[in-house]
């Protein structure tokens, strides 16, 4: 029976393998069927050797990478060599240095140094500690307000407090009331939002309105004198009407300032003026309408003047001839408390200032709007706290 032999291609005789097995041996493996088992075992051995070599090469590369990584990390953590720490000092300097000056020696053995210029035409002014915060220095206004328990007290105090709250600081509100101090007044002052001091007039059992106001203002003056408060003192009753421009104008007073006050006549059917007549800021006369007050030296309302507080505790600064404390007098007739007090502060009109210049504006009103004889609604229980209210029957 004829047999067919397949010859291998010559290309297979010249092929070599990486595992070192010759092509001739491969040809012998394919030549006969009797050598098939030998071929299978040899092939498995070659494949296992190839996988082993590949794994060994991969592990070797991995170990090398890890070694170099650790070495680089250690070199970065522990630098070697000298590092110059003065780079910023030498290379980045913001100091202005003058140009080099050549010193020449003249015939008289004197040094001739030319003018040194730093190349700066104008200097920048140095900012003080307050300019960064837009700080504006203002004189303090000290407002003294006498008050007493009545039906409209809370309304008047709240109205005046809201006006003072709009005034630019510094402002100190001194509220004086008769003993005992009421919790309602203290609560109103706490909620207003104005710097205040709540004082009480002790050991004064006078029921007269005139005596009560005089003693309360004197308590405020004594407090200013004792604590040497610096500012412009102003008597502001709680039932008057004030403009914001008035309190801002008080800061321009150096010693004593005055201005006209509008008020209602006793008949309450017309408005009258009481205060100075001014030529610019100089006082040259007075407005007066009542015959009973023409004997007064200065025709000023209690809310129509203000003065420097240093007059109270530093009279030598103003060459004051009075050695006694400056206080309001309760022994004079009603309507003369203002003029007797002003006579202790200034000697004549030459020491006064008209506010505003020319006294051309009305800055506050004295309306006498307090209702006399007004009682609380029937059925209210009034003891110490006005918050305790019973229903009206």
Task: Cite the annotated binding site by residue number.
Answer: 239
What sections of 78-152 are H helices per DSSP?
Answer: 87-91
| Sign for the pseudo-dihedral over CA of 146, 346, 309, 279 | positive
> What is the rounded distance in angstroms from the CA atom of residue 352 to the CA atom of residue 341?
14
> What is the rounded distance in angstroms from the CA atom of residue 173 to the CA atom of residue 233?
10
* Binding site as annotated, residues for Mn(2+): 239
**Integer angstrom CA distances of residue 128 from 131, 132, 134, 139, 214:** 6, 8, 11, 19, 45
> What is the rounded distance in angstroms from the CA atom of residue 372 to the CA atom of residue 116?
83
Q: CB 21: neighbour CB atoms within 10 A? A: 15
Residues 304/237, Cβ–Cβ less than 8 Å: no
Which of the following is catalytic: 177, 274, 338, 349? 338
Residues 311/326, Cβ–Cβ less than 8 Å: yes
For tokens 């502001």, name the residue: 236
Task: Compute, in degrees rounded to 10, the torsion defined by CA atoms 219, 307, 233, 293.
Answer: 60
Residues 242/364, Cβ–Cβ less than 8 Å: yes
338 is catalytic: yes
Pair type for strands 232-235 and 241-242? unpaired
> What is the rounded distance in angstroms from the CA atom of residue 327 to the CA atom of residue 351?
19
Give the contacts of 314 (CB within 8 A, at least 6 positions apart): none
Q: Which of 191, 134, 145, 136 is nearest to 172 (CA)?
A: 145
Residues 358/280, Cβ–Cβ less than 8 Å: yes
* Residues identified as active-site: 338
């Amino acid at each position: 029976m004829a047999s067919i032999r397949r010859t291998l291609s010559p290309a297979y005789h010249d092929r070599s393998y990486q595992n070192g097995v010759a092509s001739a041996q491969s040809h012998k493996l394919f030549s006969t069927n009797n050598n098939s088992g030998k071929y299978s075992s040899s092939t498995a051995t070659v494949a296992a050797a190839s996988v082993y070599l590949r794994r060994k090469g991969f592990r070797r590369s991995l170990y090398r990478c890890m070694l170099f990584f650790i070495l680089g990390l250690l070199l970065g953590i522990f630098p070697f060599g000298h590092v110059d720490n003065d780079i910023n000092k030498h290379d980045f300097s913001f100091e202005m240095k003058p140009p080099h000056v050549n010193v020449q020696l003249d015939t008289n053995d004197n040094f001739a140094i030319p003018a040194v210029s730093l190349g700066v035409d104008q200097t920048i002014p140095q900012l003080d500690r307050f300019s960064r915060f837009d700080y504006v220095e203002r004189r303090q206004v000290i407002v003294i307000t006498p008050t007493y328990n009545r039906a409209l007290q809370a309304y008047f105090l709240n109205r005046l407090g809201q006006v003072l709250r709009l005034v630019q600081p510094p402002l100190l509100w001194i509220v004086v009331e008769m003993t005992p101090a009421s919790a309602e007044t203290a609560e109103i002052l706490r909620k207003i939002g104005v710097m205040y001091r709540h004082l009480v007039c002790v050991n004064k059992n006078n029921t007269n309105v005139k005596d009560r106001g005089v003693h309360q203002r004197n308590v405020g003056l004594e407090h200013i004198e004792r604590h040497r408060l610096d500012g412009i003192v102003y008597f502001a009753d709680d039932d008057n009407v004030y403009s914001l421009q008035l309190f801002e104008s008080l800061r321009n007073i150096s010693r004593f300032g005055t201005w006209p006050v509008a008020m209602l006549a006793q008949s309450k059917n017309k408005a009258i003026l009481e205060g100075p007549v001014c030529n610019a800021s100089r006082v040259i006369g007075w407005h007066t309408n009542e015959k009973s007050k023409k004997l007064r030296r200065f025709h000023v309302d209690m809310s129509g003047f203000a003065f420097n507080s240093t007059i109270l505790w530093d009279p030598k600064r103003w060459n004051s001839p009075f050695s006694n404390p400056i206080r309001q007098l309760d022994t004079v007739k009603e309507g003369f408390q203002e003029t007797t007090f002003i006579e202790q502060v200034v000697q004549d009109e030459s020491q006064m200032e008209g506010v505003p210049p020319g006294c051309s504006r009305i800055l506050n009103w004295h309306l006498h709007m307090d209702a006399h004889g007004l009682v609380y609604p029937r059925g209210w229980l009034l003891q110490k706290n006005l918050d305790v209210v019973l229903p009206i029957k």
